[in-house]
């Protein structure tokens, strides 16, 4: 469908983060979601597809999701966006990575801070910002048509961990139940790690949140 994004996935970094490039099929303008590492590989995928990156969004500020920001920003000149509540995490990402014995490239500052309900235009497509705290204070998902880019909120058969600083298990569960279960069942969930799934499948089978629809 022309109102659905074209999507390329590049799995990056030691923690195997799914970096997504979502493009408008008409204008070829693109959005990069969670360039966590391996900026050269992300840029190669963009170049191969013939897309023009106009914005970059971090679904949250953990180091494994922002480590490729600088490379992609510098190569494309695209605007960088993150939810306002996760800016402190972004700024401390290098310190957090060192706790795991991993390097992290500091991110350039965002050009714009996001809030719940914001809309991000990419060509003729629109991506709605859904604030879903719990894994981190400013965690978000992006919804475009029947595609949900869920960050580390919802995975195939699992949910984001909530034992990190700023985590809140109840908030995460409430957000999934109230904000995601109302989406069409055929909505494809593109998680921050692991394989794609659907809203319907997770409502039926996810052991952490199955059967919790309103």
d(CA 127, CA 55): 11
pLDDT of residue 1: 43
Partners of 33 in the β-ladder: 20, 57
pLDDT of residue 99: 85
Q: Is the pLDDT of residue 213 over 80?
A: no
Q: Which stretch of 17-26, 95-104, 142-151 has the lowest confidence by average pLDDT? A: 95-104
Which residues in the chain belong to E strands, given as ranges? 6-12, 17-23, 29-33, 52-57, 79-83, 112-114, 119-122, 125-131, 140-144, 147-151, 154-155, 158-159, 188-191, 197-198
Structure tokens belonging to residue 7: 């999507």
Q: Is the pLDDT of residue 214 over 80?
A: no
Structure tokens belonging to residue 161: 């961990």
Question: pLDDT class for 100, splitting at 50, 70, 90?
Answer: confident
Q: Is the pLDDT of residue 73 over 70?
A: yes
pLDDT tens-place string over residues 153-212 = 999 999 999 999 899 999 999 999 999 999 999 999 999 999 999 999 999 999 999 766
DSSP-assigned letter for residue 4: S
Tell me which architecture the domain covering 6-205 has in CATH: 4-Layer Sandwich (3.60)
Partners of 23 in the β-ladder: 6, 30
């Amino acid at each position: 469908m022309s109102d659905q994004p074209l999507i390329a996935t590049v799995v990056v970094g030691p923690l195997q983060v799914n970096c997504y490039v979502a493009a408008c099929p008409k204008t070829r303008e693109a959005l990069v979601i969670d360039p966590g590492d391996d900026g050269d590989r992300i840029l190669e995928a963009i170049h191969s597809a013939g897309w023009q990156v106009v914005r970059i969004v971090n679904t949250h500020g953990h180091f494994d999701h922002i480590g490729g920001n600088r490379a992609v920003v510098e190569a494309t000149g695209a605007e960088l966006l993150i939810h306002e509540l996760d800016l402190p995490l972004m700024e401390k990402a290098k310190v957090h990575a060192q706790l795991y014995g991993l390097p992290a490239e500091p991110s350039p500052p965002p050009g714009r801070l996001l809030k719940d309900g914001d809309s991000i235009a990419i060509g003729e497509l629109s991506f709605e910002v859904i604030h879903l705290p719990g894994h981190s204070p400013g965690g978000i998902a992006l919804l475009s048509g029947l595609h949900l880019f869920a960050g580390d909120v919802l995975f195939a058969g699992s949910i984001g961990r909530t034992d990190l600083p700023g985590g809140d298990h109840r908030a995460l569960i409430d957000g999934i139940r109230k904000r995601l279960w109302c989406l069409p069942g055929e909505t494809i969930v593109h998680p921050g790690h692991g394989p794609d799934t659907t809203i319907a499948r997770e409502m039926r089978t996810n052991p952490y949140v199955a059967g919790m629809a309103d």
